[in-house]
Structure 1
Amino acid sequence: MAMLDQQIRRVLSPYAFLLLAGFLAGASGRAQESSKEMDGMYQATVIVTGTDMRSRPIGFSRALREVLVKVSGEPRLQTDARLDPLAAHADTLVASFGYADQMAGIKVHDDQGTYDRSYDLTVRFERERIDKVLAELGEQPWRGERPVVVPVVRVRAVVGAPYLFSAEVPQGADQRISFFNSSVKYGITLRVPTESELSARGVGVDRLPSPSAAPTASQVLVAGTLEFQESEPIGWVGSWRLRWHDADYAWQVSGVNFDEAINDLTRGAIRVMSGHDTPN
């Protein structure tokens, strides 16, 4: 490396060399940052009961499937039967794990505070072995910068008038938590638009934007509606639209709770953006 630096110095002016050195340092820093972000994709946190072997194997199994989906961008791996034998022995892929008590600081007052206590189990898997598993399944890691997903959604709940989901709307407090949890689960950033952003773009309850109207090139807009349906199947009905690489995609979900409706939006977006053919 030192010899290479000397050769470069002889060819370039001092100023040009400094520019090149800064560029290389910046590129190296970005590569390290990207690698660090990718490392985070190889861990997942699931809820289990207790810290012993009663629930640890199933916790490892659930975490493994979540990591495979997050790393690859292929949600179908969540229920892929080919993974059943491996998921049953997910411990063989684990690099480290740890527990966090969900009731830490809360005084023990009944059985829920002893052997039935709930814990967050965070599992980190060996990166090389996860990549190998994906290759054997015909998949590969979804590397590079992942676009930010901006959901523009009209919501009609059980009661009240329909409203636009935003960063400030009072009715969307619990829903914003659902969006955050979904972004963590699937390894992307979901950026909820503000009221001012929606207003500036002329978006209204009766006027949703075109999916091609993303704020920037590094963002993807998912436009849609979310309504609670009281007839069969009872639950939330979501309809989503997305434009990616000059192609339009649309998909739906029905009869689910709100969290699962948001997860459906996220799954569809990551499947398309990671290079798979359809949202579902």
Structure 2
Amino acid sequence: MTRRQPVLIWLGAATIVRMLLAVAVVWCASAMAAAGADLYRAQTVVTGQDEANRIIGFAFCLEDVLIKVSGAQKLAGDRRLAAYKSNAKSFVRAFNYRDQFLGKPVRDEQGTRDRPYDLTVDFEEKKINGILKALGLKPWLSHRPRLAVFVEMENGTRDFIVTVDGAQSDLQRDALLAAADRRGMNIVLPSMAALAKSGLEGAKLETVPSSGLAPLATEQGGEVALVGHLVWSDRELGWITRWRMDWQGRTHRWQVRRVTFDEAFRRGIGGAAQILSDNGDPGGRARH
């Protein structure tokens, strides 16, 4: 009996290992399935829960989901989507509301009709894929590289890089994360300590070559560096934005003018997604 005990213990350990591996496989599969399902989900803000505003919300979310699933930022504002958006309800699998004023008393006689709600919409995967096929596109379901995003904001005498922990970039950080979620991308931002350590604190990002950002991007957990420079223009009443990303031996550059920084971030991250998903260059021809 004494000689058999190690065998019994080994058999028990082996069984436990197999069970743990099985659980890990199931967990990973579930995580991947959840990530895939999130691609077919979008959110917008509507007023009240009446059908008229809900239909408008469905149309808005449909465009976002088509861009998110395909990675094709160029679909934004595409006239070909008009027919699909007018019938967006037929592509919806489920939806729900979250009252932004939950727990707060009704402020006037209109009740809940004037309250803002987060409308979350899940679309039928096969139907979305069918629309993309009709548009000459396909779902981007392969690995999506994590973007290390370096954004410099310049407004008069103020000039700073958006970080994960800097107080002065709270609004921009939240907007970047929201833009990434809306375009189905994962991003990482540099910390203030990491910028200081690498000598980039206070640097003009446009003058820093991609090779100079690569080590910091890797250290922060990013796979591809995306660089943005936003300059506020009083004349245009908006941000003038230039983006840059190196991918597969090419430097891609694109720009957008006269927009909010929220829209600039969506165009930046969306443009990166378009390149990575092989849907074309957002700025035209790329440089070798």
TM-score by length of structure 2 reads 0.83
Is contact 1:210–1:223 with CA below 8 Å preserved after alignment?
no
Q: Match for 1:157: what amino acid?
A: N
| Structure 1 residues not aligned, in runs of 5+ | 1-17
Question: Structure 1 residues 204 and 83 mapped into 2: Cα distance closer, same or farther (>3 Å)?
Answer: same
Q: Structure 2 CA distance, aligned partners of 1:78 and 1:241?
A: 20
Residue 27 (structure 1) shift:
6.0
8 A contact 1:155–1:226 mirrored in 2 = yes
Residue identity over aligned pairs, in percent, reads 32
Paired residues of 2:232 and 2:238 also in contact (CA < 8 A): yes
Tell me the equivalent position of 2:209. Answer: 210
- Indicate whether 1:105 and 2:103 are aligned: yes
Q: How far off its partner does 1:176 sit? A: 1.0
**Where in structure 2 are there 5+ consecutive unaligned residues?**
1-15, 284-288
CA distance in structure 1 between the partners assigned to 2:45 and 2:64 by the alignment = 13
Other structure's SS at 2:113 match: coil
> Matched residues in 2 for 1:262 and 1:137: separation?
25
What letter corresponds to residue 60 of structure 1 in structure 2?
Answer: F
CA positional deviation for 1:30:
3.7
**1:204-252 residue CA offsets vs partner (Å, 9 max, x unmatched):** 3334332343333852111231111112x22111111100111101111
- The residue type equivalent to 1:220 in the other structure is V
1:23-38 aligned within 5 A: 30-38=28-36
CA spacing shift, 1:206–1:107, aligned 2, 3 Å: same
Of 223, 234, 239, 2:237 maps to 234
State the AA in 2 paired with 1:200: K
* C-alpha displacement of 1:73: 0.3
From the superposition, tell whether residues 161 and 77 of structure 1 become closer, same or farther in structure 2 (CA, over 3 Å).
closer
The residue that corresponds to 1:13 in the other structure is none
1:197 equivalent in alignment to 2:200: no
Separation of aligned partners in 2, 1:21 and 1:107: 51
Q: Is the 8 A contact 1:103 1:117 kept in 2?
A: yes
In the alignment, the residues of structure 2 paired with residue 156 and residue 262 of structure 1 have an alpha-carbon distance, to the nearest angstrom, of 15
Q: CA deviation at 1:118?
A: 1.3
Say what the alpha-carbon RMSD is for the aligned residues.
2.5
1:245 is matched with 248
Looking at structure 1, the residues matched to 247 and 126 of structure 2 have their Cα atoms a distance apart, in angstroms, of 30
Answer yes or no: is the 8 Å Cα contact 1:45–1:63 preserved in 2: yes
- Aligned CA distance change for structure 1 residues 161 and 98 (closer, same or farther; 3 Å): closer
The answer as to whether partners of 2:240 and 2:256 remain within 8 angstroms in 1 is: yes
